[in-house]
């Protein structure tokens, strides 16, 4: 168990500089923030520190400037959003590693907030350079990590600095992620059902391997199902299949036995377009000119029955090309199934960027137990890997 922000309650925090790694890797459009979700999500941690009189120093990466000061990746557009949300001025520190920078942070008044420029403007960030971690550390007195989505990378602002500033604790967002992804899934209430989909099987083999011994069933949708169909010797037409993973899929089918559940039916079309002619067929009826773009209604019902029956559900990867209706139908149906299971008392957890987008698009994000903010990080946790950014935090 990792130490969380709560544990600092009652400590003399007034005037202390809290160095907070947040995830402000937000989409920008025409120089302003196009989606403020991630900024809003970090507010509970920021407000908690502000209310206790801390000087709050916020740091994040944005995009991939690859160690260069590229203006299109500046975090400056986040400042007005933060100011609006907090109802207070927010200072911006152009060069967090300059000699004057520590003095700038000391000049903050109690409860004031400062945002540092993009951590990835410095090549040392992704190299976890100790010198950069030290320069960063001069700007704070203790460390809070609230950037779960970056915790699977050992970078100067996520790992290196956590050894230098103590205490080093998990912020509220991070704590919630760990509670669900480690807590709920480590000792899941049963039946425990995983739903996996998305574009590729290759990136998710390790997840399937790690989940197999722990779950009661893995329901497979998305293009991933097609590689399994190919492993069963079925015609998959123009579907997205990974030929070099067919053997692995065969092996998983053997090992998984009845735990691996493939869709009973699929929605196929000859082209990926909203007004393409579509057919719902059994997996052994896919014609050579056709491609699978979704699970069909039969398969949705098949999956929903399992989901409603479950006490713990983990979902990663859409069931079809949800970006192009009508091929969103299977994904929306499964999302509804998760909402119903949640109402009935199941713990339901969603991981993965596209899956999170799909559940938001269906308007059901607040009807499941937890939507993880970290795609890669949540999968790595499930695979049983240690996340360097989490491992470096203080143990309870």
Which active-site residues does the annotation give?
38, 200, 353, 376
Please list every residue from 353 through 392 that binds Mg ion, using CB under 5 A: 353-354
Kindly tell me which of 189 and 272 has the beta carbon lying closer to Mg ion.
Answer: 272
Taking CB under 6 A as the criterion, the residue among 79, 194, 292, 310 binding ligand ADP is 292
Report the partner that residue 321 touches, choosing among Mg ion, ligand ADP, none (CB closer than 5 to 8 A by kind): ligand ADP
What three-state secondary structure class fits 142? Answer: strand
Kindly tell me which of 112 and 380 has the beta carbon lying closer to ligand ADP.
Answer: 380
Would you put residue 198 in left (φ > 0), alpha (ψ -120 to 50) or beta?
A: left
Nearest position to Mg ion, beta carbon: 354
Give dist(CA 77, CA 83) in Å, integer: 11
Record the tokens describing residue 217, joined without a space: 């069933």
Q: What order do you get walking across the sheet with 266-269 strand by strand?
A: 278-281, 266-269, 291-295
What three-state secondary structure class fits 263? Answer: coil
CB of 324 to ligand ADP, least distance (A): 7
Per rule CB under 5 A, is residue 237 in the interface with Mg ion? no
Per rule CB under 5 A, is residue 44 in the interface with Mg ion? no
Terminal alpha carbon distance of the chain: 6
Per rule CB under 6 A, is residue 352 in the interface with ligand ADP? yes
Record the tokens describing residue 243, joined without a space: 């030929």
Give dist(CA 143, CA 21) in Å, integer: 8
Per rule CB under 6 A, is residue 205 in the interface with ligand ADP? no
Per rule CB under 6 A, is residue 323 in the interface with ligand ADP? yes
Q: Which helix (H) or strand (E) holds 369?
A: none
Contacts of residues 90-98 at CB distance under 8 Å and 24 or more positions apart, as own/partner, are: 90/114, 90/115, 91/115, 92/117, 93/117, 93/139, 96/59, 96/135, 96/136, 96/139, 97/122, 97/132, 97/135, 97/136
Taking CB under 6 A as the criterion, the residue among 157, 236, 316, 372 binding ligand ADP is 316
Kindly tell me which of 4 and 316 has the beta carbon lying closer to Mg ion.
Answer: 316
Report the partner that residue 240 touches, choosing among ligand ADP, Mg ion, none (CB closer than 5 to 8 A by kind): ligand ADP
Per rule CB under 6 A, is residue 128 in the interface with ligand ADP? no
Residues 231-250, one symbol each (x = binds ligand ADP by CB under 6 A, - = not), give ---------x----------
Per rule CB under 6 A, is residue 222 in the interface with ligand ADP? yes
């Amino acid at each position: 168990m990792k130490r969380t922000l709560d544990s600092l309650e009652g400590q003399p925090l007034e005037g202390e500089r809290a160095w907070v790694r947040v995830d402000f890797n937000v989409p920008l459009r025409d120089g302003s923030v196009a989606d403020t979700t991630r900024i809003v999500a970090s507010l509970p941690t920021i407000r908690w520190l502000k209310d206790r009189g801390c000087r709050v120093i916020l740091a994040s990466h944005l995009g991939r400037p690859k160690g260069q000061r590229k203006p299109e990746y500046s975090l400056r557009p986040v400042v007005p959003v933060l100011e609006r949300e907090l109802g207070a001025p927010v200072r911006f520190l152009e060069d967090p590693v300059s000699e004057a920078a520590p003095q700038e942070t000391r000049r903050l008044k109690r409860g004031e907030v400062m945002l540092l420029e993009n951590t990835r403007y410095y090549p040392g960030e992704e190299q976890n350079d100790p010198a950069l971690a030290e320069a960063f550390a001069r700007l704070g007195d203790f460390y809070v990590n609230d950037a779960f989505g970056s915790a699977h990378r050992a970078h100067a602002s996520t790992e290196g600095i956590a050894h230098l500033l103590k205490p080093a604790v998990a912020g509220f967002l991070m704590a919630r992620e760990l509670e669900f992804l480690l807590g709920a899934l480590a000792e899941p209430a049963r039946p425990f059902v995983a739903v996996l989909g998305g574009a590729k099987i290759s990136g998710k083999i390790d997840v399937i391997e790690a989940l197999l011994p722990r779950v009661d069933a893995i329901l497979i949708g998305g293009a991933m199902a097609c590689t399994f169909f190919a492993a069963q010797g079925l015609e998959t037409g123009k579907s997205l299949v990974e030929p070099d993973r067919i053997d692995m899929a065969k092996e998983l089918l053997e090992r998984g036995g009845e735990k691996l559940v493939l869709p009973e039916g699929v929605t196929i079309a000859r082209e990926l377009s909203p007004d393409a002619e579509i057919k719902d067929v059994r997996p052994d009826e896919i014609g050579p000119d056709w491609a699978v773009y979704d699970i069909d209604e039969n398969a949705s019902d098949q999956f929903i029955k399992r989901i409603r029956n479950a006490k713990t559900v983990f979902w990663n990867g859409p069931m079809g090309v949800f970006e192009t209706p009508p091929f969103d139908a299977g994904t929306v149906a499964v999302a509804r199934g998760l909402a119903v299971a949640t109402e009935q008392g199941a713990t339901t957890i969603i991981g993965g960027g596209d899956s999170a987008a799909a559940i938001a698009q269906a308007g059901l994000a607040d009807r499941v137990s937890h939507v993880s903010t970290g795609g890669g990080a949540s999968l790595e946790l499930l695979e049983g890997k240690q996340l360097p950014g989490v491992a470096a935090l203080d143990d309870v």
